[in-house]
Amino acid sequence: MITGFITFFTIFAVVGAILYGRKLIKTEKSDAVFGNPERAKGGIHWVVVGSSFLLLSWLYYSWDIAKSFYPKSANELCQVAKVNESLLSLKYLFPIVERQHKSTAIIKRENINIEDKIILIQNDPDLKDQDKEIFTNILRDTKLMIPSLTDERYLEDNIKNTINELTIRLNQLTTDFPKDSYPKFTTEEEDEINEGLKKQLGWGATGMEVPPLPESKRGLKFHAAAAELNSISDEFFEMRNHNPEYLRQSEAIFGEIKEYMDGLDDGRELDYIKDIKKLVRRIEYASIFPPKTLDELENAIRAFDKVQNNEQGNLRTIDILLFPAGTIVASGPQCSEAGPGRWLPKPSDTFRIFGEMLKPSVGYKMIPMLWYEMMGVNRIVGFVLPDWIADIMPGKYPVHNQDGTVDPNFKSRMLDIVTGEFEAFKIPVPTGHIWDSFLRVFLGLSLGIIFGVPLGLFMGLNRFAKGFFDPMVELYRPVPPLAWAPLVITVFGIDNVGKVFLLFMVSFSIMIISARAGASGTQLSKIHAAHSLGASRWQIIREVIFPNSLPEILTGIRVAVGMCWGTLVAAEFLAGTTGIGFVENVARKYMQYEVIWITIFVMGMLGLLFDITIRKIIDKTIPWRGKG
């Protein structure tokens, strides 16, 4: 309903914006020539067209439009798929899908096989002449056996009757199928179907699966016809044209084979005879009938196919138009979306699931996406203060008394404080997947900046530092960060420490390089000026070289944020129990395409947010950039 409305709205928006744009071009007095950047300014209407186009493509290719306007279509197409599937094996018997009758094709193929095998046997130098003779004879006999299957005279009456019966059943189905009264169910059967329907969830409720039970009158028709067709084809393929003449010949052949094989050891001879046996068996199981025997059946199938195609009605058009780049029919009786509908989630489902995940009580895997929890200040204090503070306090920890109590003293009270075991008020702290990812990036980046910038500046100023640290940095920096992940995770654990360290490695090298470039790029005259003004070494570093390197450092931070973000998501993919990357990894395992797309979206937005923030900071802190 909403999707339908949005679809119409976006189409109107596109048309309206295009018309407005054309009108503007006509009325605008513009002396701008091609290439004038002025001409690229403005044009919100084209933004509207662009985003509407994107939204429409999404709606269309995720089959959300089909779902919105024809909610029953997927279910009905699924029933059509059932009929197709049931009909297919029967159709293969005749030149409907294939070029030849199946019997013809088999006879042709096996004749060729027999001739090839004879030539192969005759030309095998390792085979005894005696064996060659036996093999060739069996093969010749097999070839001579085929006419026993194709000769009308040998065809038994019961086979004829069965084929007739099946043909009549098919014709009956063909006449009944278009009727309104079809299918007729007993009340029991009807109840059973209704019971199933009650339990059945809607289209999209189980991801890319389409509900398999028919939900409409038309669907029910196809569903019932498919069942009847299945029964017909099962009966047909159970039937074998094994008349007495055929049985006589084939028993003789199998007897010869058995006689030869008795007591035969492994070797070429065994391989040959097994091959020959397989060939004879293939002919045994193939549905070979005399020509013309199945003509009536063929006509019946063609007639039904035509009728069922007619009965599909507008479903075929919907399938072609609204299920782009794929179809539900292709998945057969499985009833799942096969095409972009499978991996491109519908906007409606995506937003519904996103809304659901944002609820702190739901989240993903019991952890909210972004929320807060109340945490006692004591826990924070206990986490921040190292425990050894209590150890270095004067005195000794108390010993228990005779009456089984312990009197706290100053030292033990101190221990309570540094371990966080005291009563305190609670403050809200953020939690959740998004927060965890953010915190890791933030910590890794901060550590990288805190250690990388001073070292980088030092390396830019000091020959020893540059020479000494260069090999270290240059050895690990060119390695893709993820290549370090297995090692880092082994050493520091799969939890926060490992990931933060990995991100520290990423940002550290970037910060070193940018700070170094900034330091060595300081104009000599500025340093000279500072010297003449009486600045000490330390003052020169702090007051001249550092601010002068700020543009480079901030650009470095901007690059590092991007790199850290990318590395983090991949690292969370590898291991861990929280974070955006973790969410995507789990969603991948369970094929929750909506969640995958949501995480992609969230990551994109967060990355953009980081970049915009840093750009803002850069504009604020170094307004002189490029103007010095």
Partner 1 sequence: MSDLVSQKVNMIFKSLKGEDVHALKDITFTLKKGELLTVLGPSGCGKTTLLNIAAGFLRPTSGSINLGGKEINGPGVERGMVFQQGALFEWLTVNENVNFGLRMKKEDPIKTAKKVEEWLDIVGLKGFGNTPTYQLSGGMQQRVALARCLINDPDLILMDEPLGALDALTREKMQSLVLKIWKETGKTIILITHSVEEALLLGERVYVMAPRPGRIHKEYKLPFASRGLKGDLREIKNDKEFVSKREEILTMIWDMEEEIMGKEI
**Site for partner 1, rule CB under 8 A:** 523, 525-526, 528-536, 539, 543-544, 547-548, 550, 622-624, 627-628
CA atoms of 542 and 550, how far apart (whole Å): 11
Rounded to a whole number of angstroms, the minimum distance from the CB of residue 524 to partner 1 is: 9
> Which secondary-structure segment (H or E) carries 373?
strand 371-376
How far CA 575 is from CA of 422, 443, 594, in Å, comes to 35, 18, 22
Rounded to a whole number of angstroms, the minimum distance from the CB of residue 518 to partner 1 is: 12
3-state SS of the chain: helix, strand, coil percent to 5? 70, 5, 25
Closer of 108 and 531 to partner 1 (Cβ): 531
Closer of 18 and 517 to partner 1 (Cβ): 517
C-beta separation of 289 from 149 below 8 A? yes
C-beta separation of 417 from 385 below 8 A? yes
Helical ranges in 123-216 per DSSP H: 129-145, 147-150, 157-176, 187-199
Rounded to a whole number of angstroms, the minimum distance from the CB of residue 624 to partner 1 is: 4
CA atoms of 58 and 64, how far apart (whole Å): 8
Rounded to a whole number of angstroms, the minimum distance from the CB of residue 532 to partner 1 is: 4
Closer of 198 and 627 to partner 1 (Cβ): 627
CA atoms of 594 and 343, how far apart (whole Å): 8
Q: Which two tokens stand for residue 461?
A: 């100023």
Closer of 114 and 530 to partner 1 (Cβ): 530
Closer of 127 and 550 to partner 1 (Cβ): 550
Burial class (CB in 10 A: 0-12, 13-18, 19+), 354: middle
Closer of 242 and 526 to partner 1 (Cβ): 526
CA atoms of 519 and 66, how far apart (whole Å): 61
Three-state SS for 372?
strand
Phi, psi for residue 391 in degrees, rounded to 5: -65, -35
CA atoms of 114 and 125, how far apart (whole Å): 19
Residue for token pair 């009966």? 235
Closer of 141 and 543 to partner 1 (Cβ): 543
Closer of 327 and 549 to partner 1 (Cβ): 549
How far CA 164 is from CA of 170, 226, 298, 481, in Å, comes to 10, 20, 11, 73
The conformation of residue 329, written as its DSSP 8-state character, comes to G
Closer of 315 and 544 to partner 1 (Cβ): 544
Closer of 176 and 543 to partner 1 (Cβ): 543
Rounded to a whole number of angstroms, the minimum distance from the CB of residue 538 to partner 1 is: 10
Rounded to a whole number of angstroms, the minimum distance from the CB of residue 45 to partner 1 is: 38
Closest-CA residue to 123 (of 115, 132, 114, 131) = 132
Rounded to a whole number of angstroms, the minimum distance from the CB of residue 613 to partner 1 is: 21
Closer of 388 and 538 to partner 1 (Cβ): 538
Closest-CA residue to 496 (of 399, 413, 563, 579) = 579
> Which secondary-structure segment (H or E) carries 429?
strand 426-431
Closer of 529 and 600 to partner 1 (Cβ): 529
Rounded to a whole number of angstroms, the minimum distance from the CB of residue 515 to partner 1 is: 16
Q: Which residues of 206-230 are buried (b: 16+ CB within 10 A; e: fewer)?
A: ebbbbbbbbbeebbbbbbbbbebbb
Rounded to a whole number of angstroms, the minimum distance from the CB of residue 544 to partner 1 is: 7
Rounded to a whole number of angstroms, the minimum distance from the CB of residue 628 to partner 1 is: 4
CA atoms of 87 and 297, how far apart (whole Å): 13
Rounded to a whole number of angstroms, the minimum distance from the CB of residue 484 to partner 1 is: 36
Closer of 551 and 581 to partner 1 (Cβ): 551
CA atoms of 415 and 423, how far apart (whole Å): 14
Rounded to a whole number of angstroms, the minimum distance from the CB of residue 548 to partner 1 is: 7
Rounded to a whole number of angstroms, the minimum distance from the CB of residue 526 to partner 1 is: 5
CA atoms of 500 and 444, how far apart (whole Å): 5
